Amino acid sequence: MYSRTNMLWTQRRNFCRMLDMRQLSSMLDIKPEVHDAIINKRAVVALESTIITHGMPFPHNLKTAMEVEDIVREQGAIPATIAILKGQIKIGLSQNELEELADPKTSVIKTSRRDMAYVLSRKMNGGTTVAGTLICADLCGIKLFATGGIGGVHRDGENTLDISADLMEMGKSSVTVVSSGIKSILDIPRTMEYLETQGVCVTTFQCPDKEFPAFYSRTSGVKAQYNFNDATDAALCINKSIQLGLNSSILIGVPVPNEFAMDGIIINNAIEKALREADENGIKGKEVTPYLLAAIAKITSGKSLETNIALIKENARVAAQIAVELEKLQYNGEDRQDEMKITRNKAKIASSSTPLVVGGSILDIHYHVNEENLKLNGATYKAKTTFSPGGVARNIAEGLYKLNGSVSLISAFGDDQNGEVLRKTLPSEATESSQISSTFATASCAVILDKVRDCKIYVGDMDIHSEITPELIYANVDLIKHAPLICIDANLSHETIDAILLLACRYDKPVFYEPTDMLIAGKPFELSPQQYRQIKFMTPNIYELRKIVDTLKPSSDASTPFWAHDNDLKINKFSDEIAELCDKLHDDIDNIIVTAGSHGIFIKRFGTSNDKFFTNNLQYIQRGTNGDSKLRHYPATIENNVKSSSGAGDAFSAGFITAMLNQKSEAICVSVGFEAALASLRSVNTVPKEFFNKSHSCWNNGAKFNVF
């Protein structure tokens, strides 16, 4: 009888929440990766924003916020920093939004329950307190929240009745709070009594003596009722609380790491002094805590700030571990593997010379039409059919493996025969971070080639590319951290490109962009300048270049290039057009490599043809502002024995990247790229079975060019 009643009550509550969410939808902006994780009951950790806006000085606040998010990801969970920006509740922040909040020039209100409606109605910015963050996290169904320390009963609170709203919210929220206890500027014994009255389960983490931490110090002199031995122990308790529908928080006290803990006497003396100063300066209400934290940091010569940063990071680590264990319980340990066949945080750490490629893997079906005057008019043409592994990213990855010796590929394959065929083109360690989908078939593409083997049209089934999600990227963050270069194609979703470029910015990794198709070439350039400027190389053809320019500079002329109808290339006119388009991207992309089929390539960049792209320790050489920035045209060698042209561009990219990572000059990179493209043209396979070794003359003789 009880279980039936409880089930009906839960259904009624969920229905009411659904009605509330309809009204809230205009006020909530949930970041796509967070939304996806919540919907699929994956591990998410909420993070407050007053630490950024009021808890630390700049730039420590921004640096800590970014590092805390990284720690959550490294444990296998998704971070969701919560704040209010321009009157909208943000569940998960972008890099730009974090920077905006951290900027001392940004006007931000410290926002708890009492402030929230006012801040939203005035379209203001708000840094959410523990109470404010709990409200927002609970609305969205996030179950774990990591913070520094919670508020509580203030000293002399029995007379002033100054009690933090954090305590009341914890009494009615189903979100578990992981903190380093109660801020030591408060009355800890009275706070513990108040939490008990609110029905909050107070525990310690890996503290057999149950000694509750006091923020800066590992001990407070007050005992908790219970202790969790590890993350699994904590997750079991949280899961039971959720099943019971208790709707009150569990508070988990995590002591600050030993090496950062402060002496209790020293910190108490600093607190007493700061309290006197606050009283003398008339500091009241919600301004007291940030004032005291800043004053204590000054009194302790920055030691307290160092401790504050360390304990926040530790709490984020523990909260993420618990969130991952809770996810396992909710999926009974096995269902998750059926849904997503990747192990969280299992990404291998690649060697520093191993590039990372992210994008599509496709089985190409080639129809070689043997008749002349091929027209797409519904007629039937005789053709020979061949099958070949394809996909821009996969092609480049296979080329890099054969030329460079190592590569990592993040892609998506169907759990089918075609997927198995594609995976076998690379060693297992190169594809172990890819997604195996039981939902979608392996991508396939029909390629129609005319009599001279030029591609006329592609028709493809690409739905599986949606499986290359931001979560998949974040689960393999170590590959990005250690790769000298990240290569992406435009088959990725906006959200996934956003995630890759965000991490590339964070770890200062150059990105090599293959636009893939004129219809989708502009995707990355719809993001913020900080993100798309992390693309240091791109290889568009003229159509894709026009699309990119039109995305960034919508007023540009996007007429059809004359040479598309003229096989006798008027090189001077064509180079003027390329130069004009590249000039419009002058401030955005360091190295623009425009591919022109049999006419070769054009390169626009600062520097000379003898300049290298990478140092001996594989650090990208940032472009200068001086030197030669003229357009260089490298004519291609004509190949008369063309068997297929569909993979030549990808082979060129693989050769060019390999030479770059071997610290070769621009001219030699082009030479190696051309030779790789020729090998592809001579092969019936998109990527030839064999290329050439480093004894080939292309590794020593730079390609010839003309300057315009």
Q: Residue 192 is encoded by which pair of tokens?
A: 């513990």
Say if residues 251 and 284 touch (Cβ distance below 8 Å): no
Q: Tokens 């319980």 appear where?
A: 329
Say if residues 620 and 566 touch (Cβ distance below 8 Å): no
Instruction: Give the integer Cα–Cα distance in Å for 481 and 503.
Output: 8
**What's the DSSP call for residue 614?**
B
Name 325's Cβ contacts closer than 8 Å, sequence gap at least 6.
Answer: 231, 232, 234, 235
Catalytic residue status for 48: yes
- CA distances from residue 684 to 365, 450, 645, 650 in whole angstroms, order as listed: 12, 14, 9, 15
Single out the catalytic residue among 31, 90, 110, 183.
183
Say if residues 391 and 443 touch (Cβ distance below 8 Å): yes
Instruction: Give the integer Cα–Cα distance in Å for 344 and 300.
Output: 40
Torsion from C-alpha of 559, 562, 565, 570, nearest 10 degrees? -160
Say if residues 173 and 249 touch (Cβ distance below 8 Å): yes
Q: What angle do CA 188, 190, 196 make, to 5 degrees?
A: 105
Closest to 355 (Cα-Cα) out of 423, 409, 283, 278: 409
Say if residues 305 and 60 touch (Cβ distance below 8 Å): yes
Catalytic residue status for 183: yes
Q: Which amino acid is at 78?
A: I
Say if residues 485 and 407 touch (Cβ distance below 8 Å): no
Q: Tokens 């490629």 appear where?
A: 357
Neighbours of 74 (CB within 10 A): 17
Q: Which helix (H) or strand (E) holds 514?
A: strand 511-514
Name 606's Cβ contacts closer than 8 Å, sequence gap at least 6.
Answer: 590, 623, 624, 625, 626, 627, 628, 629
The phi-psi region of residue 611 (left if phi > 0; otherwise alpha if psi is between -120 and 50; otherwise beta) is: beta
What DSSP letter does each residue of 359-413 carry, written as one string? S--EEEEEEEE-SSS---SS----EEEEEEEE-HHHHHHHHHHHHHS--EEE-EE
- 3-class SS at 107? coil
Cis peptide bond N-terminal to 59, omega within 30: yes
Name 351's Cβ contacts closer than 8 Å, sequence gap at least 6.
Answer: 406, 482
Single out the catalytic residue among 48, 211, 467, 544.
48
Active site (catalytic) residues: 48, 183
